[in-house]
Structure 1
Amino acid sequence: MNKKYFGPVFTVGILCFYMLLCSFTPAADTLKSSGFKLKKIIIDAGHGGKDAGAKGLSSLEKNVALAIARKLQAAIQAQIPDVATVMTRSDDTFIELRRRSDIANKSQGNLFISIHCNSSAEGTAYRARKQSGVMLLVYGLKRAGEQLEAMRENASILIEQDQQKYEALDATDPANAIILDAFTKKYRKQSIHFGEFLNQEFTETDGRPSIGVREQSLYVLANSAMPAVLIETGFINNPEEETYLNSEEGQQQIVQSIIRAIMAYRAALTIQ
């Protein structure tokens, strides 16, 4: 290259590189600008139809889960009216796990709450010191790749909620890979964060025993492209807890614990 042109060309190159750097938004800023506003909650009543779930002395998990899910939707509508809700099932219908994730993703939810009842190997007999309490489950790291794939299939999660068209992200694009990885880590962090709020409300406010927040390789959590927690509301095979889980008072108490956790979680999101 002619030396008399080298200086100007080099200067222009540096200027272009600087402008490119200024225009690049780091992953953390992308997450912040995209927003983690809580606008829509997916409520998933576990089991249903031919899938009864765990069994107690006189009740089935699918019915308890649906009753609590319905009350939760009504409570959100009444107490947090600016947050929309979507139910994966509203009656005694069998919904496949993949369909549940599809409903959540296509509805573009910001939080996935799955309602279940736990069961232990002790059976339903009355006995002292039977397993009891709540447990909060988040997806395990072994299934992180599945959530990444679910997110890749729904590019619209990265932008505003008004986009209706779903297009697959190009997995070979390094920029997309960086953004998706950042979202996966962020969703996992938020799932644990919400689980901790739930645990606090169940134990400190309601005085219920808890197994705590645990990782588990669950399909419905791993394939929901949003923060997601599965709530084991109690052990249905423990006669005392079964009575509580089926009572109006018990179900309302569980719902209000979830409502308080949602409010605390949303407040924490606004200050991040």
Structure 2
Amino acid sequence: MKKFGFLALLLLLLVLVHPGTGYAGSAETHINLDGNDLKISKEAQVQIVNGSVMVPLRVVAEQLGYTVKWDNVTKTALIEQKGTILKLILNNEMAEASGKQVKLDNPPFLSGTTTLVPLRFVGEHTGTSVGWDNVTKTVYLTSPAPEIGVSDPEIKVPDTSVTTPSDNGSNGNTATGGNASVSAATNLSFVDNKLIIAVNGSVTPNVFTMTDKDRIVVDLPNTSFGDSFHQNLSTGKNQNGQLTITDNPNVSAVRYSLFSSSPSTIRIVIDLNSASNYSVTNANDGLIIVDLNGTSTTPPATTAPEVPVTTPPPVTNDTGKKIIVIDAGHGGKDSGGVSVNKLYEKDFTLPTALKIAELLKNDPNIQVVLTRSDDTYPTLQERAKLANNLKADLFISIHANSIPEGSKSNPSGTETYYTRKESLQFAQTVHKYLVAATGLSDRGVRQSSLHVTRETTMPAILLECGYLSNTKDEALLFSADFQDKVANAVVLGIKEQLGR
């Protein structure tokens, strides 16, 4: 994380005062930092004071190791890091940041033993991206990545256009010339030992290795950083940045830079701990994947198993098999939600439902029925009616979530919905497997009046497996590996529910 991002978190803990008037809080609130939910105590809950979101972050600050001095006589907190000095005073609406006076929405205050400060102050004066989801009572914080020094020869902006060095005969494609139209990189993530690059437009990456230090280099010719890239990741004044990689034995860092402005070229460098094989997938579907696991990833349309719709059995089921209805949300004329990179929800739900069906068909005691097996649109009424007529034992609808474009919050994670009380246990059972398998934030089991879970007569649930509006979630949702994990999690939940 960038030093100023960390510093922002320190500001959230360091001033003392009694809660102001107009306080409104909830029994449980959440703080999500860089996609990870932080553990906060009952005393350290987010609070709303006079319409301002006040955030406690002592638990975060204690992990950062920054220098903090508190003067109990003047009630002043002095926070210092590499020449940057911030000063906050008890019960004072004025703060000081690098010698400049800053007026706060509300004075910082003490809640129990935890200190709080206005969330907006963090976003406006530290470079940290912030957001508040009032529905889930969640604060979202995204720390800018640390800047990369221009002394790094393989990442800095050179005076000449991009060259394509390769010292081991790698299979990269050559960068194109400077007259082509410029595409945009919209996001970057490193998940499951895969570099995932989201782009708008047609991009032919040039991928090669450097062996003086073990590195994999990805050049994106005729490509610049898009607006959403700047919103999700820090590029700094030098148009470069770095992803924080932890607990990965193969990769120490992923760095990125606007390598050349003529032609506009983005360079991404994967710093390795040792030489590694890799494969590249670019299906011109908005995602470029560099897989260090040695296997290629292909679009869901080609990886989904062909599972035909099971012919509905008679209403009286004498086979003794459990009937499971799998519903791929949306379809046909109804695309469902649209992701950041203009991918359709229906193109996630169908391959995932097919994978679930493929796994379940191996169980001789289960009969699988799909509400759709191709790009068609059964109405919500038809989906519920099918399950009811079959007297199905369980009903599962597959979806991906999204929030309106322009929303200040950017949630990530999985949610499971149910309507009737008899569906709660089934929802809880599947949800625990889903959260464990996907590794995304646990956004909980929720009750909502949804048609397919309300109008069905058997235990029925609807899964929101991730957020299309979150670029990191999006990259996962449309990967075959993630869909396999979701499918396996659903099957485990089904079998536990059935007592198998």
Q: TM-score, normalised by structure 2?
A: 0.34
1:104: how far off?
0.8
Q: Secondary structure at the match of 2:415?
A: strand
Q: Paired residue for 2:412? A: 132
1:122: how far off?
4.7
Figure out how many residues of one structure are paired with residues of the other and give that number. Answer: 180
- Residue type at the aligned position of 1:235: Y
Q: Distance in 1 between matches of 2:375 and 2:347?
A: 8
Q: Paired residue for 2:468? A: 236
Which of these residues, 435, 443, 459, is aligned with residue 203 of structure 1? 435
Q: 1:205 to 1:252 in 2, by over 3 A?
A: closer
1:123: how far off?
5.2
Root-mean-square deviation over aligned CA pairs: 2.0
Q: Distance in 2 between matches of 1:218 and 1:134?
A: 17
Q: What aligned pairs does 1:1-272 form with structure 2 within 5 A after superposition? A: 39-56=322-339, 57-78=341-362, 80-122=363-405, 130-139=410-419, 188-267=420-499
Q: Distance in 1 between matches of 2:354 and 2:487?
A: 10
1:38: how far off?
7.1
The question of whether the paired residues in 2 share the 8 Å contact of 1:123 and 1:237 is answered with no
1:102: how far off?
1.0
- Residue type at the aligned position of 2:483: Q
- Residue type at the aligned position of 1:245: L
Identify unmatched segments of 5+ residues in structure 1: 1-36, 140-187
Structure of higher CA gyration radius: 2
1:59: how far off?
1.2
Q: 1:126-162: per-residue Cα shift (whole Å, max 9, x none)?
A: x9x73111110001xxxxxxxxxxxxxxxxxxxxxxx
1:205: how far off?
4.8
Bigger share in helix: 1
Q: 1:187-206: per-residue Cα shift (whole Å, max 9, x none)?
A: x3441111111221123454
Q: 1:60 to 1:206 in 2, by over 3 A?
A: closer
Q: Secondary structure at the match of 2:498?
A: helix
- Residue type at the aligned position of 2:355: K
1:236: how far off?
1.1
Q: 1:104 to 1:209 in 2, by over 3 A?
A: same
1:64: how far off?
0.6
Runs (4+) of structure 1 moved beyond 2 Å?
A: 121-124, 202-208
Bigger share in strand: 2
- Residue type at the aligned position of 1:86: V
Q: Distance in 2 between matches of 1:224 and 1:66?
A: 21
1:121: how far off?
2.5
Q: Distance in 1 between matches of 2:329 and 2:402?
A: 14
- Residue type at the aligned position of 2:357: Q
Q: 1:165-215: per-residue Cα shift (whole Å, max 9, x none)?
A: xxxxxxxxxxxxxxxxxxxxxxx3441111111221123454321211111
Q: Secondary structure at the match of 2:364?
A: coil
Q: Distance in 1 between matches of 2:331 and 2:437?
A: 30
- Residue type at the aligned position of 2:350: L
Q: Distance in 2 between matches of 1:45 and 1:123?
A: 28
The question of whether the paired residues in 2 share the 8 Å contact of 1:40 and 1:86 is answered with yes
Q: Secondary structure at the match of 2:425?
A: helix
User: What percent of counterpart residues are identical?
Assistant: 36
Q: Distance in 2 between matches of 1:123 and 1:107?
A: 43
Q: 1:220-264: per-residue Cα shift (whole Å, max 9, x none)?
A: 111111110000111012111111111010000011111111121
The question of whether the paired residues in 1 share the 8 Å contact of 2:328 and 2:350 is answered with yes
- Residue type at the aligned position of 1:260: L
- Residue type at the aligned position of 1:261: G
